[in-house]
Structure 1
Amino acid sequence: MAAQRLLPVLRTDDPDAAVTSAQTAIEAGLRLVELTATTPDWARALAQLRQRHPGALIGLGTVTSASLARAAVAAGASFLVSPWPVPEVRTVTDEAGLPFLEGAFTPAEVASAVARGPVKLFPAHVGGPAYLRSLRQVLPEAVIVPTGGIRLSEVETWLESGATAVGVGRDLFSGDLARHVADVLAIAIPSGTVRP
């Protein structure tokens, strides 16, 4: 995630559209994509993507319970993301050896989550980049990924404000996805940078 500096968040009511959009994003150069548990039949979509793109990291977001986390692990998720602190999800990811991006918003939630690993700052648009800069002053080594309400045109500002990566959803997946991916990767991964 830190190498790509972009976390594409694919939230849709159609699992087939999720697969198609994720495939387009991967073919356009993204190495990881987050599906969400709010997508009907997300487990099938996730399993299809893992089978078709074994080198890609396909994660599941909006994971709010241990049972959902276990189902995501069984479906082949590469990482899990929660919208708020969910300790029982961390237990499942620790047991499975998977990365977990724990959701947090308040300074106390963020500090607590940072002590355990990377943090999803959500909903990021509420505090904006200035809020992230304030958090960075007291948590300079934290891995923080702001997500929620972020537009493509704001990615650079979020990165400059200290985001490790930036979660973008609707704005990335609307219109010309391949062009959007190319544009945002040009910002997120400067020219001459070698991607692992």
Structure 2
Amino acid sequence: MEQLRASRIVPVVRVATADEALELAGRCVRARLKTIEFTATTAGWAEAVRAARAEWPELVVGAGTLRSRQDAQCAVEAGAQFLVSPLPAPAVRSVAEWHGLGFIEGGFTPAELAAATALGPAKLFPAHVGGPAYLRSLLAVLPGAAIMPTGGVRLDDAAQWLAAGAVAVGLGSDLTADGDLTERVQRVERALSAVGDA
């Protein structure tokens, strides 16, 4: 939880290959980002987790888009320091708890997020559907809940999400889409500055 609050911006790396994931991770490290999530939809994602842990010991590395016990166990064996699901996933939670790892459980409805935040931080997904106003409404009935919006969150909107009460924001395709990675890392830096001024 404290790592999430300190990070504020968590790159969600969903690319084609482990090599691409690691290239992006290196640029994120150089942009002074402290936490990263590799998704299980990337080919070779477990190897990317393992390699990132070895290459950047200062980086907190998580594995996301985990839906099964098998995926969760694979993430643990690769060295993931926290696990993330896009939806309610009791099997993933069970593995995380067994190994003493943090788990960010996904949900969208008030009931799903209430259940998830009763046990720890939650991932609001897909966040762009409701926007920051939806998060404010959720937090009105779930005061103090630790919620990280992910899915369609834009770099330029990170400060708005944090102002709405997000514990952190997960940045996916807006950061990792085709194009100039260097420019996107610079956008991350600008977003960090905007959040600091918010």
- 1:188 matches 2:195: yes
Structure 2: distance between partners of 1:93 and 1:25:
25
Shift of 1:9: 0.5
Partner deviation per Cα, 1:28-51 (whole Å, 9 max, x = no partner) = 100110010000011111111100
Which of 111, 135, 144 aligns to 2:147? It is 144
Deviation at 1:16, TM superposition (A): 0.3
Contact 1:29–1:181 (Cα < 8 Å) also in 2: no
Question: Distance between the aligned counterparts of 2:166 and 2:96, measured in 1?
Answer: 23
1:34 aligns with 2:37: yes
**SS of residue in 2 equivalent to 1:30:** coil
Aligned equivalent of 2:48: 45
One-letter amino acid of the structure 2 residue matched with residue 170 of structure 1: S
Unaligned runs of 5+ in 2: none
Write the distance in 1 (CA, Å) between the matches of 2:158 and 2:185: 16
The equivalent of 2:186 in structure 1 is: 179
Which residue number in structure 2 is paired with residue 169 of structure 1? 172
Q: Does 1:107 align with 2:114?
A: no
Select the residue among 48, 54, 58 that pairs with 1:55.
58
User: Following the alignment from structure 1 to structure 2, what is the Cα–Cα distance between the partners of residues 151 and 177?
Assistant: 11
Between the aligned residues of both structures, percent identity stands at 49
Q: How many residues align?
A: 191
Per the normalisation by structure 2, the TM-score is: 0.93
Identify the residue that residue 194 of structure 1 maps to in structure 2: none
Separation (CA, whole Å) in 2 of partners of 1:186 and 1:172: 16
Look up the equivalent residue of 1:180 and give its one-letter code: R
Higher helix share: 2
Q: Which position in structure 2 is the counterpart of 1:18? A: 21
